[in-house]
Amino acid sequence: MAKNEVRGAAMTLPRAMTPKMVADLWLCSERHVRNLIAAGDLPSFKLGGKLLRIRGEDVEAYECRTGASPDLGAALPSRSTGTENVTAIHSAPVTRARLNALRQPSLRS
């Protein structure tokens, strides 16, 4: 996501994001993002009548309501030393567990 700007621990999201971009940000599947949209939990709009987009503000609002996003400041590797932040390694399972709890159960047995 090259369009994102990193300023300290804050990250500016693009004005409009695809479901795949949101899924990559949240470390979940694109299907999960689409399920959230279908359930009305995540607002979206159609671009050109067909292409699904999510406003960056709506992504941030959802993250604030649910706490579903990782701490982006900790998740980014250090650019100055080239080493990964230990917090990012340990926060990934917690984030994944939060997202798994939010996912709808599979229809398959």
Residue 72 Cα distances to 21, 38, 45, 58, 94, angstroms: 15, 26, 25, 17, 14
- DSSP line for 15-73: SEE-HHHHHHHHTS-HHHHHHHHHTTSS--EEETTTEEEEEHHHHHHHHHHH--S--HH
Give the count of beta carbons closer than 10 Å to the beta carbon of residue 21.
21
Its pTM stands at 0.54
Residue-by-residue pLDDT tens, the chain, 109 positions? 444 443 344 568 889 999 999 999 999 999 999 999 999 999 999 989 899 999 999 999 999 998 765 444 444 444 444 444 444 555 666 677 777 777 766 655 5
Total number of domains in the chain: 1
Containing domain of residue 92, as a range? 5-102
The CATH number of the domain where 38 resides is what?
1.10.1660.10
pLDDT of residue 79: 44
Establish if 107 belongs to a structural domain.
Answer: no
Establish if 108 belongs to a structural domain.
Answer: no
Establish if 97 belongs to a structural domain.
Answer: yes
Establish if 38 belongs to a structural domain.
Answer: yes
